[in-house]
Amino acid sequence: MEKSLKQVQQKLTFILTDLPLRKLEQAADYAEYLKSREEWDATMELMNDPAMSKDIEEGIAQSSRGEGRSRREIKQNL
């Protein structure tokens, strides 16, 4: 049986409520690690995509040549 997000959040709340501060800090650090690891894995997946790598390289080359639009210009068009 798969648990729902709410069930998992409730379980975490129950567990974390009784932890001493030191252990709570460790749990927070581990949660932060898990989040950053997930973000890093997603970044690596994109970087290993040949089409994405080509687009990034082209963007860097355009920037080096002074081509492209400024952040301010792009923001105005949103």
At 38-62, the pLDDT tens digits run 899 988 888 889 998 899 889 889 8
Q: What is the pLDDT of residue 6?
A: 94
Q: CA gyration radius for the chain?
A: 21
Is the Cα torsion angle 56, 57, 62, 64 positive or negative in sign? positive
Domain ranges of the chain: 20-76
Backbone angles phi, psi at 18, to 5 degrees: -95, 0
Between 73 and 12, name the one with better pLDDT.
Answer: 12
The answer to whether residues 34 and 23 touch, using CB atoms and an 8 Å cutoff, is: no
Evaluate if pTM is beyond 0.85.
no
